[in-house]
Structure 1
Amino acid sequence: MVSSKIITTKAKERAYAQHFPSEVLKKAYSYCHEVTKKCDTNFYLGFQFLPEEKRNAVYASYAFCRYADDIVDEQKGKGVHWLLSRWEADLHSAYKNKATHPIMIALSDAVHRYNIPKAPYLGLIRGCKMDLTISRYKNFQELLTYCELVATTISSISLHIFGCNSPNAKKYGRYLSIALQLTNILRDVGEDAKKGRIYIPLEELERFGYSESELLRGVMNSSYYSLMKFQARRAHSYYQKAFCGMKNFTDDSRFATVVMGGVYHEVLQKIERKNFNVYQEKVRLGELEKQVLLLKLAAVGRI
């Protein structure tokens, strides 16, 4: 159940006391903004529709998560565990208003401003650590555990920043976060294969008669298409459940949430239109596609 602390966002802001000098915070939040923008994330479009203070807090949280994810994806050798542990130690310090890295300075301000618990950030780091030791998932339940760490944790962080009108928002936020992660998994099948990672559950590969070797080699046959269509249907089911609950988010955050969900849902549909060819290039939405989608979402007021 979502605590009242998530719902009463304005009350929390009144109790907040700024610790870092305003100029230092301004530079730190600007740094996080640039990190988010540079990543060309699908989330960035939705972030633009948040009020400035909430947008800054989201930038800080996104930059924190991006930094941890980049440690796993870009760093090599035994130093990865140490770097993640150091980032985790910096997080603990940030909660004590002690920080030197611009991401942590901004995050320290954001978590105190919006009373964000430490647990989801720690969960995200645990999820990143899983990528260091686990490259296969036996069944969907195992994959779901991973999704809870790398995606649902972000939903929890977002709820504290966005605010919500009902405890039900937690449930719908979880549905949306899983839908987004399942879309990422489908989009990145080819990219992950190059790293020797398979996120699609092995039981499902076996069910559709498609081997690990075929997936890693990029073989697109009838078994592959059946497997991917099944994955897409499951992702759609999570979107459908999530989109039913948009009214549970506060007025000043609802459209941003709708846009984030809408962009990723459109990516999923584009993957389907490309007949699941995710080996040649990463499926993305162009600027024109995003603008058209925004007009559609604004016109209907929901997804």
Structure 2
Amino acid sequence: MNTATLSSGENQNDSSQVLRGSKSNFLLSFLSLPTEQREGISHFYALSRVIDDAVDEHGAEEAAGLLEFWKREVALCYSDEPTHPITRSMRDSVRRFDIPRRYLELLIEGCEMDLRKKRYENFTELYEYCYRVAGVIGLTCMKIFGLGGERAEQSAVDLGLALQLTNILRDVKADAALGRIYLPREECLRFGVTEASLLRGTMEAGFRPLFAFQAERAQDYFDRAFAAMRELPRKPLVAAWIMGKTYEKILKKIQARHYDVFSKKVQLSKPVKLWIALREKFR
């Protein structure tokens, strides 16, 4: 899909259509929210999804054009009338929840990094990427949940990092197939793991110490986020608790498989996800 098609009005899915076509672990958590917040987070999720898909489902040149289109649409959310149904809905959420324009710009910048950067030298570099594609998602969600302040914002960033680091570990094989290695190069070298071995896409015993190190870091971010969230009102954060505990369960499952993320994608069954959602909602 090119930008001319988007601008002409053809194939313009709205937020509800994007949600219906998604299999994200986030969706069940949205049901715990009051109507206005559920609509706001659904509009934001749809925007995030189409921005991410612009990179993952298109060649580099077309993806760059699509991201430029979404940049213009985000700008219009704050100044005029967006042309796409998703950004028209997002404009209403931006105004209702006072979502900073910079959050949405950073999200697009993070996706742009996937077009030009396939390797990360150290965790400092990876953190910059994760902050853009996940930390600002947490910050935006916190605005929709109606909570502010330093502790709320830091917990949002920490939870976003935990989720993204879990995704990176789970998706090592899928990302390698796209030529991407998010695991920091200096850490791979420290544990004796070569780029070539990761790109082969098969589990090797030598990967386990490196993957265990990555899992420990992700768990540390979960622990920090949950500790801060316990000091905040629980009711506005039920959706965040569901998201966080769902992804922590995925991390635990990766560990239970002895870090074999190559043989089969690590997923949770619908009953398990529903159990987590109900447990967190009624805790």
Q: Same fold (TM over 0.5)?
A: yes
SS of residue in 2 equivalent to 1:150: helix
Partner deviation per Cα, 1:190-229 (whole Å, 9 max, x = no partner): 1001001000001111011111110111242332011111
Q: Is the 8 A contact 2:122 2:184 kept in 1?
A: yes
Give the structure 2 partner of residue 200 of structure 1. 183
2:234 is equivalent to residue 257 of structure 1: no
Q: Bigger shift: 272-281 or 143-152?
A: 272-281
| In structure 1, C-alpha distance between the alignment counterparts of 2:276 and 2:128, rounded to whole Å | 31
Residue-by-residue CA offset, 1:24-74 (whole Å, 9 max, x unaligned)? xxxx9x931331242111111111111111111111111111111101000
Matching residue of 1:41? 24
1:42 is paired with a residue whose SS is: coil
Amino acid at match of 1:281: K
Instruction: Give aligned pairs, total.
Output: 272
User: Aligned ranges for residues 1-303 of structure 1 at < 5 Å?
Assistant: 31-164=14-147, 166-298=149-281, 301=283
Moved more, 280-289 or 226-235: 280-289
Question: Which amino acid letter does the alignment assign opposite residue 177 of structure 1?
Answer: G
Q: For 2:40 and 2:233, how far apart are their aligned partners in 1? A: 16
- Deviations 1:82-115, CA, capped at 9 Å, x for gaps: 2111110111112224023110110010001111
TM-score, normalising length: structure 1: 0.85
CA shift, 1:156, in A, is 1.5
Partner-residue secondary structure (3-state), 2:150: coil
- 1:75 Cα deviation after fit: 1.0
Native 8 Å contact 2:191 2:209 kept in 1: yes
Q: Which amino acid aligns with 1:187?
A: R
2-structure distance, mates of 1:150, 1:202: 20
Name the CA shift for 1:249/1:67 in 2 (closer, same or farther; >3 Å).
Answer: farther
Check whether the contact 2:120–2:126 (CA below 8 A) recurs between aligned residues.
yes
* Conserved? CA contact 2:250–2:267, under 8 Å: yes
Question: Aligned partners of 2:281 and 2:78: how far apart in 1?
Answer: 38
Amino acid at match of 1:83: L
Contact 1:156–1:170 (Cα < 8 Å) also in 2: yes
Identity score, percent: 39
Gaps of 5+ in 1: 1-27
Contact kept? 2:203, 2:261, Cα under 8 Å: no
Give, as a single letter, the amino acid of the residue that structure 2 aligns with 1:176: L
- In structure 1, give the amino acid aligned to 2:127: L
Aligned in 2, Cα 1:77/1:126: closer, same or farther, shift over 3 Å?
closer
Whether the aligned pair in 2 keeps the contact of 1:68 and 1:84 (CA below 8 Å) is yes
How far 1:167 moved relative to its partner?
Answer: 3.2
Whether the 8 Å CA contact 1:175–1:238 is kept in 2: the answer is yes
Q: Secondary structure of 1:40's partner?
A: coil
In the TM superposition, what is the alpha-carbon distance from 1:153 to its structure 2 partner?
Answer: 1.0
Q: Could you say what secondary structure the match of 2:143 adopts?
A: helix
For 1:271 and 1:72, locate their aligned partners in 2 and report how far apart those are by CA, in whole Å: 26
Report the Cα distance in structure 2 between the residues aligned to 1:40 and 1:250, rounded to whole angstroms.
29
Name the structure, 1 or 2, with higher relative contact order (CA <8 Å, separation 6+): 1
